[in-house]
Amino acid sequence: MAGHSKWNNIKRRKESQDAKKAKIFTKLSKEIYAAVRSGGEDPTTNLRLRMALTKARAENIPSDNIERTIKKAAGNSENIQYEEITYEGYGPGGVAVMVKALTDNRNRTAAEIRHAFSRNGGNLGENGCVSFLFDRKGQLIIERNEEMDEDEVMLDAAEAGAEEIESEEDIYLIETETEDFEDVKNNLEQKGYLFTKAEVTMIPQTTTNLSNEDAETLIQLIEKLEDNDDVQYVYHNFEMTEEQLHQFVN
């Protein structure tokens, strides 16, 4: 989990905010569309849609955009069908990489994902080649501030049903079982906590360190994958050292 938060810190500092926001809007709009098509337009009965809406609001996507996407999906006036595909492979140094995509053109997306791996020191593998190295978990991130008492945060999270709580320099990371995610999130929200991230994700069981050269190449691979509009999520088990963190941030 710590490595994942470091990766997010690096991304925040390296990426253009405007470009990042446009990409996020595109990806979340596709997720909302696919959620409605698969489970209906009522978020009270559609968990996938409910989670997509939570992410969209956290990213400040305008309500008008959200409603327009929901109505478009409910009517399917454009006759778009998105297919969910998971790609698995290895990056430089044997790092496990999983890619979750939503696409209306399987052949195009597969070719682009394969190209990204091959051009950046990786190899696209068969389904199942790395997924066993990850656990599906709920993850909540709370940004620390001076008014927070660490013991109180830990106690509140534990009472809410959290499986694991980790205190870092600038954040608290809370991990839950997938089926407990919404209950933990709702319980903590009722106590006034706000989240910088709240989602069900894939957590690596073990992490891998890399040489500086391989780390740089892996970062290029992940950025190339995340830049693809069809890619919703990229998961990996790379653990960055403090030295590499400072090197890539600075």
Which pLDDT value is given to residue 249? 62
pLDDT-derived band of residue 88, with 50, 70 and 90 as boundaries? very high
Mean pLDDT of the chain: 88
How many angstroms separate the first and last alpha carbons of the chain?
Answer: 22
Yes or no: say if 231 and 99 are a contact pair by the CB < 8 Å rule: yes
User: Of 121, 103, 88, 122, which Cα lies nearest the Cα of 31?
Assistant: 103
CA–CA separation, 233 and 192 (whole Å) = 28
CA–CA separation, 111 and 235 (whole Å) = 19
Per-residue b/e over 193-220, b at no fewer than 16 CB within 10 Å?
bebebbbbbbbbeebbebeeebbebbbb
User: Of 157, 161, 191, which Cα lies nearest the Cα of 171?
Assistant: 157
The residue ranking higher by pLDDT, 138 or 169, is 138
CATH ID of 2-75, from 3.40.50.2000, 1.10.1610.10, 1.10.10.200, 3.50.50.60:
1.10.10.200
CA–CA separation, 17 and 244 (whole Å) = 23
CA–CA separation, 193 and 170 (whole Å) = 15
Token code pair at residue 178: 């997938």
pLDDT tens figures, 201-227: 999 999 999 999 999 999 999 999 999
Average pLDDT for 145-170: 93
The model's pTM is 0.81
